[in-house]
Structure 1
Amino acid sequence: MPQEFLPSLLGGFSRGATSRGDWIWPAIWMLPVVNTYGAWPASGEIHLVESRGNHTYEQRGNNIISSTMHWGANSDTDSYWRTSKKHASLHNTYKAGFHKFGLEWSESYLFTYVDSRLQEVLYSPFSEPQWTRSAFSSRKGKAVLVDPWSQTGRDNTPFDIEFYLILSVAVGSTNGWFEDGKSGKPWVDNSPLAIADFWAAKDERYPTWIDGKAQMTIKSLKIWQQYS
């Protein structure tokens, strides 16, 4: 049986500003140190905050952030849509100034917020086994699904193991993060020429990246643990 993650509370926050620029994808996220329960997403993934650099409402741009937890028996059963929430900036974009992006993670819940704990983004309680919560079918097509978490007897599995932190600024994607046909997107995800089409439009997007706009600026990063 996998050993339970010892800290009863893992908290932290990043004081920073997200990126601005067409087709920029800034994120602060976490992956398991060891895939204890199997390949992604069986061992979980946590997105404290992610956004889009585009300054446009149609593309849900840099005035909106989201927090997401990925978990499932396999990639086809990723239940991120049950644990994903968005939060809009009240007065400006998240690039316009510094913000506190916070995470509280315990054996009872996972909670993210922006600037203040009163501004909740995602709250996900571990009040029942994740397998039960997912309402997975006993069969997915012809493949029998097996609960990868039942041996622990804990409701917070797979979010009961150690994760490491990632601060990243990606460019483009072909996984749907930028929707086809929106905001003048110059490529189509499923096209075999997606990368070439993205590169061909470089003169259109480059002016939105210059003068440090596309940078993710971090002022401070703090992490602490409380042991039981």
Structure 2
Amino acid sequence: MIARLVLLAALLTPVAAQAAPSGPGWQLVWSDEFRAPKIDKTKWSLDVDCWGGGNGERQCYTGRLRNARIAQGKLVITARAERTTGPALPASQRPDPTQPGALVTRDYSSARLTTRGKASWRYGRIEVRANLPEGQGTWPAIWMLPEATTYGTWAASGEIDILEAVNLGVPCAACAGGKEDTILGTLHFGKPWPGNTHKGTEAHHPEVLKGYHTYAIEWQPDQMIWQIDGQTYAVRQRSEWWTSGSATPGAPFDQPFHLILNLAFGGDLAETRGLKGVSNTNFPKRFLIDWVRVWQKPLLTASIAPVDQARGQ
């Protein structure tokens, strides 16, 4: 009962007024305020697999309501400690994507939502207001992958991590409040794996341990800017990234990317920080998303993926 009351209080947190980003020229081109009774399948797909993201994660992603649903105007992604069976590989890696192929069973379930094939953008400002889960092994993420592997397989075509956090709230000697409060903003690029590389920033923000915050990236042709609640904590210049697939300045981050929201559990990053490994205490874990908004400046985005024009506003 206590857990239910805590969840209800979090869900009923007042919604911030919708406002355009600072500066002229921004237009809202896509959003989800999660006011419908169900997840909008014209905007989102749910991945179903137990692959582990290539990071040794311990969850199976499902399409079940118990792992992803709308409640009180929030998207609720829930990780549960429960034996779950599903495809060993994601659809993109199966010989026949329509068939599940080999199956595997894992000890946790969760959800991963993506706009792949439904909405993608080149440049702009992506904002997500969210309440992050805590606990050893938790790994919520707001990130983007290319709509097409124009420059080659991962990570030659790039990856944009708007927000990652692992093991929030667990004991942390290096954190001012004694609890893990680190958020990460990262770009992945270079050559196809295993020749890939990355540039990232880790920043301590104790406020993320309580309530909702707006996580954003401002993606420009010549730089990327990461923000929390409108405050910049990381900047990357175009000269810092590259791809083996092109000598064009700005590549691979000059192509349309789609958005992903997921809650992983365990895996390489989560299990090597904090207390190490994972903890089964205080389940289920919930990643709450109040809204998602994508802003663009028309003069900056002269070439937009056709799917965006169809789905805009």
Name the TM-score, length of structure 2 as normaliser.
0.51
8 Å Cα contact 1:64/1:93 also seen in 2: no
Quick check: 1:149 aligned with 2:246?
A: yes
Deviation at 1:164, TM superposition (A): 0.5
Give the one of 215, 235, 240 matched to 1:123.
235
Gaps of 5+ in 1: 1-6, 132-146, 187-204
1:77 matched residue in structure 2:
195
Counterpart of 1:79, as a letter, is T
Change (3 A) 1:8 1:42: closer
Give the one of 200, 204, 212 matched to 1:88.
204
Deviation at 1:159, TM superposition (A): 0.2
3-state SS in 1 of match to 2:253: coil
2:297 matched residue in structure 1:
226
Change (3 A) 1:126 1:86: same
8 Å Cα contact 1:62/1:94 also seen in 2: no
Change (3 A) 1:158 1:184: closer
Where in structure 2 are the equivalents of 1:48-67 lying within 5 Å? 48-54=162-168, 55-57=170-172, 62-67=180-185
Deviation at 1:129, TM superposition (A): 6.9
2:272 matched residue in structure 1:
179
Quick check: 1:43 aligned with 2:157?
A: yes
- Cα separation, 1, equivalents of 2:209 and 2:240: 37
Give the one of 224, 232, 236 matched to 1:110.
224
Change (3 A) 1:167 1:95: farther
3-state SS in 1 of match to 2:251: coil
8 Å Cα contact 1:21/1:53 also seen in 2: yes
8 Å Cα contact 1:48/1:112 also seen in 2: yes
Runs (4+) off by over 4 Å:
58-62
Counterpart of 1:179, as a letter, is T
Give the one of 259, 268, 281 matched to 1:207.
281
Change (3 A) 1:170 1:42: same
Change (3 A) 1:93 1:129: closer
State the identity as a percent.
25
Aligned residue-pair number? 176
Gaps of 5+ in 2: 1-120, 300-313
3-state SS in 1 of match to 2:127: strand
3-state SS in 1 of match to 2:232: strand
Deviations 1:151-202 (A, max 9, x none): xx3x2100000111001000111x344217x51526xxxxxxxxxxxxxxxx
> Greater relative contact order (Cα 8 A, min sep 6): structure 1 or 2?
1
Name the TM-score, length of structure 1 as normaliser.
0.69
8 Å Cα contact 2:162/2:185 also seen in 1: yes
8 Å Cα contact 1:59/1:183 also seen in 2: no
- Cα separation, 2, equivalents of 1:9 and 1:184: 37
Q: CA RMSD in A?
A: 2.5
Quick check: 1:101 aligned with 2:215?
A: yes
8 Å Cα contact 1:73/1:148 also seen in 2: yes
